[in-house]
C-alpha cells in the first residue's frame, strides 16, 4: 500500500515564485543615504545620465501631445543602452550592465531594437538601474518633483545642461540624442544600432570631461531642497 501525503494520486502541484525582500533593500538604501546623502544607489555617472535622459525624452513626447510614462520610457532606454553595450562586446559580462540572461540575441531582433519590444513587461530586468538613480536626481538638483515619484520628475536647467555635456558630441543622423530617441519612442523608422548611438548610451563608455565637471558641481552644490547638513556630509565624503 502506498500513501501520498497531501496529494491524491501521482499528480503535480504547480509552483509559483514570490519576491519577499523583507525590507532589506530599503534598509540598505536608507543606510547609504545617511552615509552619503543624495546618491541613492548610484556608483557611476552613466546611471544618472540614463535616468535623466529617459525623463527628458518623455518630456519631449509630452510637448508633442504624446503622453509616455517616464518610468516606462526610462526603462526602455536603459534596456537599449545595455543591449547595445552587450552587442558591442560580444555579450561579455560587466558589472555596469544588466539583463544579459534576459535579452534575445541579434537573430531574434531582425526588425531592430523596436521601442514596443524594449518597453514590454518582462523584456528587461525587474530592478533596473533607474530605481537606484531616480532617487538621486532631485537631491542633486538634476530634477524636481512634488512627491519624488519617478513619473512626476521634471528636468531642471542643470539637468538639461548635464545631458548636453554628456551627449552633445553624439548626434545620430545629425540630430540631438534626445530627439533621436524621441523618434524611436514614437515608433518612427530610425536606426538605433550605429556607433554613435552605442557610444553615447553605453554604460561602459566614460562620460565626457565636461559632463564630469557638471556632475562634480552637482555633488558639491546639491539641490535647492537639501539641508546644509546633507550637503556638508556629501562634500566630506568627496573630500
Residue 41 has pLDDT above 90, yes or no: no
The predicted model gives 229-237 an average pLDDT of: 92
Q: 113 lies in a domain? A: yes
- Cα 150 from Cα 171, distance rounded (Å): 27
Q: 32 lies in a domain? A: no
Q: 14 lies in a domain? A: no
- Number of domains within the chain: 1
Q: 25 lies in a domain? A: no
Report the chain's mean pLDDT, rounded to a whole number.
89
- Cα 178 from Cα 164, distance rounded (Å): 9
What is the three-class DSSP state of 162? helix
Output the CA torsion sign for 125, 156, 190, 85.
negative
0.85 surpassed by pTM: yes
Q: 190 lies in a domain? A: yes
pLDDT value, residue 24: 82
**Domain residues for 207?**
39-238
What is the three-class DSSP state of 232? helix
- In tens, the pLDDT along 86-139 reads 999 999 999 999 999 998 876 556 677 999 999 999 999 999 999 989 999 999
- In tens, the pLDDT along 126-157 reads 999 999 899 999 999 999 998 879 999 999 99
The answer to whether 163 touches 74, Cβ cutoff 8 Å, is: no
- Cα 46 from Cα 183, distance rounded (Å): 22
Amino acid at each position: 500500500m502506498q500513501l501520498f501525503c497531501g496529494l491524491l494520486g501521482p499528480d503535480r502541484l504547480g509552483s509559483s515564485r514570490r519576491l519577499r525582500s523583507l525590507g532589506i533593500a530599503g534598509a540598505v538604501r536608507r543606510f547609504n543615504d545617511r552615509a552619503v546623502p543624495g546618491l541613492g544607489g548610484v556608483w557611476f555617472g552613466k546611471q544618472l545620465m540614463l535616468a535623466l535622459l529617459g525623463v527628458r525624452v518623455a518630456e519631449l513626447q509630452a510637448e508633442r501631445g504624446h503622453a509616455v510614462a517616464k518610468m516606462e520610457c526610462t526603462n526602455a532606454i536603459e534596456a537599449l543602452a545595455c543591449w547595445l553595450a552587450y552587442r558591442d562586446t560580444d555579450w561579455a559580462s560587466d558589472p555596469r550592465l544588466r539583463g544579459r540572461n534576459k535579452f534575445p540575441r541579434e537573430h531574434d531582433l531582425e526588425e531592430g531594437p523596436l521601442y514596443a519590444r524594449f518597453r514590454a513587461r518582462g523584456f528587461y530586468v525587474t530592478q533596473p538601474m533607474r530605481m537606484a538613480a531616480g532617487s538621486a536626481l532631485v537631491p542633486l538638483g538634476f530634477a524636481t518633483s512634488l512627491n519624488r515619484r519617478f513619473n512626476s520628475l521634471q528636468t531642471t536647467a542643470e539637468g538639461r545642461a548635464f545631458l548636453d555635456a554628456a551627449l552633445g558630441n553624439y548626434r545620430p543622423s545629425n540630430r540631438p540624442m534626445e530627439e533621436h530617441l524621441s523618434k524611436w519612442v514614437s515608433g518612427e523608422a530610425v536606426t538605433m544600432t550605429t556607433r554613435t548611438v552605442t557610444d553615447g548610451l553605453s554604460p561602459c563608455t566614460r562620460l565626457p570631461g565636461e559632463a564630469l565637471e557638471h556632475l562634480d558641481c552637482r555633488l558639491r552644490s546639491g539641490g535647492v531642497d537639501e539641508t546644509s547638513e546633507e550637503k556638508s556630509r556629501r562634500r566630506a565624503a568627496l573630500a
